[in-house]
A and B are shown apart, each in its own frame.
Chain A
Amino acid sequence: MVDASKLQQQQRKPSADTFLPLSRVRTIMKSSMDTGLITNEVLFLMTKCTELFVQHLAREAYTATCGETLKYEHLSQLVNKSKNLEFLLQIVPEKIRVHEFQEMLRLNRASGSDEDDDDDESGSESESEAE
């Protein structure tokens, strides 16, 4: 399936047009940069790159759907198994049911482990704000 996606990318005609708005991408880039200067060329490349990423994500996740609707679960599964998508683990986490979570907590306590996984949510939230 990697070959197929590569093929599709190569078939795509190179072009100097972007779909995503450059100004928005600039804002996003500035939110993470300590130096303020972003050349137009870099901005263009980043925008293109983000577009490719969106399509890559959609295409790869879709291969798991067997032709049905692309759902959140397909994405979180993909993120979970792809090494290069590790940075998204907190952004696209696997959903778990409340009773599964309670079961996990119960098991944790039963095994006497004192590592706290319960503030996972607040942790990821403060992290995304910090970025």
Chain B
Amino acid sequence: MVERIEDLNLPNAVIARLIKEAIPDGSNVSKEARAAIAKAASVFAIFVTSSSTALAHKQNHRTITAKDILQTLNELDFESFVPSLTQDLEVYRKMVKDKKESKANKKDTSTGDAAASSSSAAAATENGEAE
């Protein structure tokens, strides 16, 4: 599954940006510190995943759910993450739902008469012209 160990590293540039966002403007981060944070983040992801998997299995679920992850974070003493993650999840779910709906709408209009669809054309531009 993982061919090279580098496949588990997170991209340096993104990590650097996230760190920069978290600390005051103009402060510096040593290369070594950045590398350590990146490594820690990979290990954190593995740690949370395996803990969530264990939790899901304990409840006789085969795959982990968002709820498992949030509960795991609570158990691992990262409960401060949960409120903002819950909000993010809400936004994400809404986005997925909207996407689905707009896709369904598009299907309807494309099967209908294309010439008489001035309103659907407006809807299509609103959808950002995914096609």
Contact = CB atoms under 8 A, between A and B. Distances in A.
Nearest first, the 4 closest Cβ-Cβ pairs linking A and B are A84-B77, A14-B87, A55-B22, A69-B28
Kindly state the interface size class of chain A when it binds its partner: 35 or more
B112 to A, nearest CB: 30
Given A32-B46, A49-B73, A20 B37 contact: no
A87 to B, nearest CB: 5
Contacts of A57: 37, 40-41
Contacts, number: 202
Interface string B1-40: 1100101101100110111011110011110110011111
Interface string A6-45: 1011101011100111001101111111110111111011
Interface of B: 1-2, 5, 7-8, 10-11, 14-15, 17-19, 21-24, 27-30, 32-33, 36-50, 53, 62-66, 69-70, 73, 76-78, 80-81, 83-85, 87-96
Contact of B46 (A6, A8, A131): A131
Contacts of A56: 22, 78, 80-81
